[in-house]
Every structure is written in C-alpha cells, then in structure tokens.
Amino acid sequence: MVSVRIATGLELPAMPPAAINRALVYFARLSGLDSVWALDHFQGLIPSAIWDRQFSWAAAHYRSPHELFDYQVLLGYLASSAGRLRLGVGVTEAIRRHPVLIAQAMLTLAHMSRRAPILGIGAGERENIEPYGLDFSTPVSRLEEALQIIRLCFSHQGAIDFHGKHFRLEHAVLDLRAPKGRTPEIWIGGQGPRMLRLIGRYGDGWYPSLVSTPEEYAAKWQIIHAAAQEAGRDPESITRALFRLVAFAPTEREVRRMLDSKAARLLALGASAEEWRKVGAQHPFGEDFRGTVDWIPEHYSREMLEEGMKVVPPELLGSGVLWGTPQQVVQKLRAFGEAGVQYVVLSPASALLSRRATLYGLLALRGVAYQLRTGR
C-alpha cells in the first residue's frame, strides 16, 4: 500500500554568511524539496552564557548564537535563487511589525518569486518582545486584529478603515497586488484552543511546532475543522503542516548518544513545567514555566543552565526533537501523515553537534524528503 504523500520544506539558519543560506536554497532545489523558510527572531534559543565549544562546534565560527538576519531582507535576497521553491517565514508576529508592513513585505516577495510565498505568523514569544520594551500582555487578540488587516491588504483595493483595540486605520491605502496565482498564503502557528479557532477562521494553513504526537495533532485539527465550518469556510482548504527540529544518525545507538548532549538537554530544559510534571519532575524554572513561549535566553546564568540540564528527566531527553535513523524518522512522519499532516518543515538540530553530523543530517533529510514525497 502506498503511504500518504507529504511535502517537505527546510528551515534555513538565517545567520551569516548570506552565501550559506543561498547554498542551502540550491541544495533544497536539487533535493526536490518544496520550500525554504527563514525564522524571525532577534535572539536565538541558545543563551550566550553557555555558548562555547563544549556546547557546540559552531561556537568556533559564531561569536554569538544571536547573529540573525532580518527575514524580509533575507528572503528578498534569496528570491532570485529559489526557482520553483516557495519562500516562507516561520513565524513572524504583529507586535514588532505592523500588520500593514507584514502584508507589504509579503506582497513584494510575491513579485520576486515564482510561487506564492507563505506568511507564517503567530502570537509571538517573550524573548523577542519583552527585552525590547514591547507589550506582550494580549498577544492573541492582537494577532486576530492583525489577521483581519492582512487579509484586507491582500484583497482590498483602495482606502482601508479599521477600528480595533490594538490597531486603527483611517483611509489607509496599500494598493500593491500580488501577481495572478501568487497571493501570499497565511499559515498560523499555534496549538492552544484560542489559536486553533483563529486558524479555522483565518488561516490558509496550520503551522504548529509543539504538537508532540499524531494523536494530539488529530485532536487539535478537529478544533480547527469545527471553527472553519462555523466560519463558513471549507476546512479542507487549510493546509495541515508541522514544524519539527530533527536529529539524524546512522544507528539508533548513535542518535541516543546525541540525545544526551548538552544541546539536546537544553532543548529538554525548554519544555514546559507541565511536560516535566507528566513524568513526575519539577521544572527548575518554576511550576508556571510555559516552555519556549517564556524562554528568554539572556535571563539565565551559566550556573542556572548547567544545574537545570543536569536534572533533565531521562524521559524528556529528545523532547522537542524528531529523532532517529532516517528510516525511523520517515516512519514517525508517516504516522503524522496518517493523522492529517500534509506538509512538514524540518530544521536539522544535529547541525549543533559536529560538522559530520551537519553533513549527515542534510543528506539524510534529502532521502527522507524523497520518501515522503513519493510515498515509497
């Protein structure tokens, strides 16, 4: 029996030099991938307090883990190299960037690329908001207004009026239009109940990053499905996607050694206090810690991080990462496919470990993408 077919995208490092990102675009084209994606962060996930060669070989080449490009400029730079690849951002938010600015950037990108770009957007994370003096108190309601405005910008000709709690437009004009067939798609990241309902009402795609199992994915999709029907939309018009960090190794024994590395332990430390409670452990950052949403890397000292990584429960090693041999990863992703996933975007987490792991991870990803694309 032929397995469900799943399209595959690659998340780019979005770090200097720019030529590395362009080289990965060519790699994605040659590998038959469907898209490349840039993240939108001021800060990376790794605290500078532990950024050294003991943590990752990459520290010898990057003085900071927070050297990140602006996604809008980067995707514009890559557009002429992308060929048939779709370009996406995964994900931005409407706290640092006004929704009209987001819409204008994506419409501009539509003129530079051969296929419709993908606007990945979510409610935001503390690390990109609070250290910069911005308000993170009502992110979901702000996102809902932003989605309404972006939809208007993509489709409305002439002056726009909008009176909301967070945004006000008075005869605002954005008459730039995408070329025919290239109107940007809006893929919304999120997995909480309110976010799932927003996806059903406004999303062209669902782009979660913290859904752990196929069963959880299927259950959350039902909430989106119902919200879309209530809004008079066809639920099947919404692309069901998934973002995952992925770690490959030739054998399961080797990949399990990778999961006991400092990098993997840091990812487990970034799991929520609720996830720690499920395995009978108390999170060192407090019982209300929500994981990546609350993660602000520069708030933690080396001592706090080292102590926290030491007490990561064995059950959480590998948390937040899709790991295994290439064939094991294919089987895990096919299980998500049976739960409804149509599109995966992968970020090779094994690149933190060594040059060898980086190269192996890319070649493995190429093979995985082929199997998912062909159903073989």
182 in Cβ contact with 116 (< 8 Å): yes
Q: Whole-angstrom distance between the N-terminal and C-terminal Cα of the chain?
A: 9
Integer Cα distance of 99 and 94 in angstroms: 6
The 3-state secondary structure of the chain, one letter per residue: CCCCCCEEEEECCCCCCHHHHHHHHHHHHHCCCCEEEECCCCCCCCCHHHCCCCCCHHHHCCCCCCCCCCHHHHHHHHHHHCCCCEEEEEEECCCCCCHHHHHHHHHHHHHHCCCCCEEEECCCCHHHCHHHCCCCCCHHHHHHHHHHHHHHHHHCCCEEEEECCCCEEEEEECCCCCCCCCCCEEEECCCCHHHHHHHHHHCCEECCCCCCCHHHHHHHHHHHHHHHHHCCCCHHHCEEEEEEEEEECCCHHHHHHHCCCHHHHHHHHCCCHHHHHHCCCCCCCCCCCCHHHCCCHHHCCHHHHHHHHHCCCHHHCCCCEEEECHHHHHHHHHHHHHCCCCEEEEEEHHHHCCHHHHHHHHHHHHHHHHHHHHCC
Q: Is residue 270 part of a domain?
A: no
Q: What integer pLDDT is reported at residue 354 of this predicted model?
A: 86
Which amino acid type is present at position 159?
Answer: A
Q: Is residue 53 part of a domain?
A: yes
Q: Is residue 82 part of a domain?
A: yes
Integer Cα distance of 89 and 293 in angstroms: 18
Q: Is residue 101 part of a domain?
A: yes
Please tell me the number of Cα atoms within 13 Å of 114 on its side-chain side: 9
Residues 6+ apart with CB under 8 A from 293: 125, 126
Q: Is residue 262 part of a domain?
A: no
Integer Cα distance of 228 and 214 in angstroms: 21
Q: Is residue 155 part of a domain?
A: yes
Q: If you compute the radius of gyration of the chain from its CA atoms, what whole number of angstroms results?
A: 20
pLDDT by residue for the chain (376 residues), tens digit each? Answer: 457 899 999 999 999 999 999 999 999 999 999 999 999 999 999 999 999 999 999 999 899 999 999 999 999 999 999 999 999 999 999 999 999 999 999 999 999 999 999 999 999 999 999 999 999 999 999 999 999 999 999 998 899 999 999 999 999 999 999 999 999 999 999 999 999 999 999 999 999 998 989 999 999 999 999 999 999 999 999 999 999 999 999 999 999 999 899 999 999 999 999 999 999 999 999 999 999 999 999 999 999 999 999 999 999 998 889 999 999 999 999 999 999 999 999 999 988 888 899 999 999 999 999 999 998 8
144 in Cβ contact with 167 (< 8 Å): no
Q: Is residue 283 part of a domain?
A: no
Q: What integer pLDDT is reported at residue 351 of this predicted model?
A: 87
Give the domain CATH number at 96.
Answer: 3.20.20.30
Q: Is residue 365 part of a domain?
A: yes
Q: How many domains does the chain have?
A: 1
Q: What integer pLDDT is reported at residue 1 of this predicted model?
A: 43
Containing domain of residue 64, as a range?
7-252+321-374
Q: What integer pLDDT is reported at residue 250 of this predicted model?
A: 95
